[in-house]
Amino acid sequence: MKTRVIILLIIAFAYVNSFAQQQTFQDSLLDRMVGEWTLKGMIAGRETTHDVIASWILNHEYLQFHEISHEKDSEGSAAYEALVFIGWDSQLNQYSCLWLDNTGGGGLSAQAIAHAVRKGDDIMFLFKGADGSNFHTTLAYDRNTDSWQWIMDGEENGKLQPFARVKLTRKK
């Protein structure tokens, strides 16, 4: 009887210990986004500058970035602000992204969630609207300059319409 209890305790300890040692999400490309950035470029036909801070959160399971525009609204608040979370969906073998911003609410809906595959140093997200529209967001890393390009396009009748062309440079 004692032997059985000891064996059961060893099995239970090994089982619990295996969960405690699970690997966290590791991604060498997303690791390059961690830090403080200045975003500059064109969004919706206007020149803009934003601050972006990216960090790993929740036991290194998600990359979070907080984006805040320098431009102010009529009340003196940031004209644009977003919280973005990127993780890995191991069942689908692709990235997942939740993009929440202050452009109209309704962020906790299916159209705020995108999926992406990685091709080289590009991560190409596709957001699908409830009305059947598509919005493409590509995060493209440039190893030579240690910078990121964000390329965002709406899709109309199968044709891409430029929405944003911005570059993130690391703050010194």
Distances (CA, A) of 28 to 5, 66, 106, 137: 44, 20, 32, 20
Q: Given this model, what pLDDT does residue 38 score? A: 98
Structural domain boundaries in the chain: 24-170
The yes-or-no verdict on residue 8 having pLDDT over 60 is: no
The radius of gyration computed from the CA coordinates of the chain, to the nearest angstrom, equals: 21
Q: Given this model, what pLDDT does residue 6 score? A: 38
Strands 62-69 and 46-57: antiparallel
Nearest C-alpha neighbor of 152 from the set 87, 89, 90, 82: 82
> Which range among 18-27, 31-40, 86-95 shows the weakest confidence by mean pLDDT?
18-27
Q: Given this model, what pLDDT does residue 60 score? A: 92
Strands 134-142 and 147-156: antiparallel
Match domain 24-170 to its CATH number in 3.30.300.160, 2.40.128.20, 3.10.310.30, 2.40.110.10.
Answer: 2.40.128.20
Which amino acid does the sequence have at 138?
T
For the entire predicted model, the pTM comes to 0.82
User: Length of the chain, please?
Assistant: 172
Strands 62-69 and 122-128: unpaired
CA 33, 162, 83, 128: dihedral to nearest 10 degrees?
-110
Q: Enumerate the β-bridge partners of residue 164.
A: 43, 152
For the segment 25-51, the average pLDDT, to the nearest whole number, is 94
Output the CA angle 105-154-77, nearest 5 degrees: 35
Output the CA angle 158-98-82, nearest 5 degrees: 100
Confidence of residue 107 (pLDDT cuts 50, 70, 90): low
The yes-or-no verdict on residue 14 having pLDDT over 50 is: no
Q: Given this model, what pLDDT does residue 5 score? A: 36
Are 127 and 138 in contact, with CB atoms under 8 Å apart? no
What residue has token string 């999400």? 25
The yes-or-no verdict on residue 4 having pLDDT over 80 is: no
How far apart, in whole angstroms, are the C-alpha atoms of residue 101 and residue 88? 21
